[in-house]
Structure 1
Amino acid sequence: MKFGLLLPAGQAQLEAGGTPRALVELAREAERLGFASIWAGDSLARARVEPLTLLTAIAQATERITVGTAVLMPAHRNPVQTAMTLASLDLLSEGRLVVGVGAGFPGFSEQEFALSGVAFRTRFSHLDDVVALWRELWAATPKAFHGKVLHYDWLPEGVRPARPGGPPIWLGGATPAALRRTADRYDGWLPYPPDPADYASGLATIRAATNRAVTPALFLTVYVDSDPRRGERVLEDYAQGNYGRPLTEMSGIQATVTGSVPEVVAAVRRYAEAGAEHVMLRVGSLEPGGVERQLPLLAEVIAGAVA
């Protein structure tokens, strides 16, 4: 198994005492501790440091660690310009980029799409068109592109990324439609189902539908604490501060775990048994310095999970 860390780049976490420059140092420390990857999230509804800008700084400050988006919302950006930005980031990182993408979540993302000028009802077709366009721009110089919703009669010459064909693109989502689309056109799967059995079922559906290699990844919110009540309180504060919703609601949507190091290891292993191979850990804390204090505990979790 491989493990990654989601950077605490949201406004709520920064207001609790973090700084954008400290995020770069946090990434360097994660690399030193043996994390395989570092990730940045994306949102218009919840203010945060822009992920591609942040990952560019991290790519220059690190040497080996994979840098990735978890997840990028392509609807928020011009597709052609984003293809050039991602290719440039892949070049600067010397081929260490993974692009996790998503199409939003009902009840959370409608206003963001309206602000971006993309119809929420066609968000999946828009996402698939954008990804197809990126790959064409990275591989060749197409004169035009006509998808389901995107149509361009002229396209500029694109920036060539470090890797032929461009960085791997992983899809976030676990609906039946998302599983089919992952099998058809994506390089990895990055969901967050609360039940490992649902993860196993989703992965089996993907593998039954394709012969391509699809990386099975997982987005897991975690807080390591031997006192379960304290851990629940920290996660509750995080859910309210980050989403404005209670932990009971968010933990029914997103995989979430708290407990001692052995208890968190056991939870991770259940997902490993379900097929997860790359686990992205998000520390669910708004405490000043909370992620930094959790980092060595997460290193213990990683050591226990891979033992």
Structure 2
Amino acid sequence: MDIGIGLPGHAPWTDGRHLVEWARRAEARGFATVAVSDRLRWTTPEPLMTLAAAAGATDRVRLLTSVLLAPLRTNHVLFAKTVATLDHLAGPDRLRLGLAAGFREDDFTASGVDHADRGRAFAALLETLAEAAHDPGGLRPATPGGPPLLFGGTSRAALRRIATRGTGWLAGTATVDDLRAFTPGLRAAWTGAGRPGAPRVVVSAMYALGPHAASATARAIAPYYAFAGDEWVREGIAGTLTSPSRLAAAVTAFERAGCDELILTGNDPDPAQVDLLADALGR
């Protein structure tokens, strides 16, 4: 199982250069991927711009949007060119796009985008991405056919996207039980679509380490998930991996459950968290 790093864009970061330093350290310590999340109505940095900065600061580590709110990108041709540009800046076979329809209505309201129509908009964007990857008159991606697509969500529409257009499922912050509940249907949909092999399963989990792990987790998660209510906040804080022993147990459990890559997302913006994580995992 691969292990990646999720940048702490949801946490109270104040210096974007620290996020770039996270990417540098992630590559230096042998992590497979640098991932960045997406929220419009929050201080989360824009994912593609952030990954462009990370691409310029690194050479080998893979780059992942986890997940990008696809229907908010309403100029589909411009989005396709932005993706192709980032793919060239990173170099072939480094960028992967994790995409989802999005469920926060406030992000759509702020954009003037119809939340109820997001499925249709998502489908149209995917068509444009596919066409742009082979357009002789435009900027085609450096990666042949374009960057691989992973899709978030557990709906029938998400299953259909994965089985027909994707390379796998991006589970977001999920538990081992979530994984075991969803993957049988995922594999059945994949086989039913005539796809060879198996879909890639990528899961995210929150972490913070060191003497201030608990307070950093509370500062990051409580306001970020406040919209969902106190129970969600409590579960998010309780589920955060805050010790080497909990990290080791989680890595083992996810690997046994069939996870192909585990993205460990920081809750403390200090780049030293990358080294603490690498040390805890014996890297």
- More relative contact order, 1 or 2 (CA 8 Å, 6+ apart): 2
Q: 1:179-230 CA distances to partner (integer Å, 9 max, x unpaired)?
A: 34322321121113543122023122111122344211001112235x8xx7
- What code does the residue aligned with 1:133 have? T
CA distance in 1, matches of 2:146, 2:204: 23
> What's the secondary structure of 2:140's corresponding residue?
coil
Q: Which residue of 2 aligns with 1:104?
A: 102
Q: Which residue of 1 aligns with 2:225?
A: 243
How far did residue 79 of structure 1 move? 1.2
> Normalising by structure 1, what TM-score?
0.80
CA distance in 2, matches of 1:255, 1:99: 29
Q: Are 2:81 and 1:81 aligned?
A: no
Q: Are 2:279 and 1:297 aligned?
A: no
Identity %: 33
Which 10-residue stretch deviates more, 89-98 or 249-258? 249-258
How far did residue 298 of structure 1 move? 1.4
How many residue pairs get aligned? The number is 275
Q: Which residue of 1 aligns with 2:206?
A: 221
- What code does the residue aligned with 1:74 have? A
- What code does the residue aligned with 1:235 have? T
Q: Which residue of 2 aligns with 1:13?
A: 12
After superposition, where does 1:129-208 map in structure 2 within 5 Å? 129-140=124-135, 157-192=137-172, 194-208=174-188
8 Å Cα contact 1:138-1:165 kept in structure 2: yes
Q: Which residue of 2 aligns with 1:273?
A: 256
User: What residue ranges of structure 1 are gaps of 5+ in the alignment?
Assistant: 142-156
CA RMSD of aligned residues (A): 2.5
Match of 2:239 among 256, 264, 276: 256
Q: Which residue of 1 aligns with 2:19?
A: 23
How far did residue 86 of structure 1 move? 0.4
CA distance in 1, matches of 2:251, 2:225: 24
CA distance in 2, matches of 1:104, 1:53: 19
8 Å Cα contact 2:25-2:275 kept in structure 1: no
Match of 1:41 among 30, 37, 41: 37
How far did residue 23 of structure 1 move? 1.8
Q: Which residue of 2 aligns with 1:121?
A: 116
8 Å Cα contact 2:203-2:259 kept in structure 1: yes
Which 10-residue stretch deviates more, 212-221 or 235-244? 235-244
CA distance in 1, matches of 2:157, 2:248: 31
Residues 114 and 123 (structure 1 numbering): CA distance in 2 closer, same or farther, change over 3 Å? same
Residues 248 and 301 (structure 1 numbering): CA distance in 2 closer, same or farther, change over 3 Å? farther
User: What residue ranges of structure 2 are gaps of 5+ in the alignment?
Assistant: none
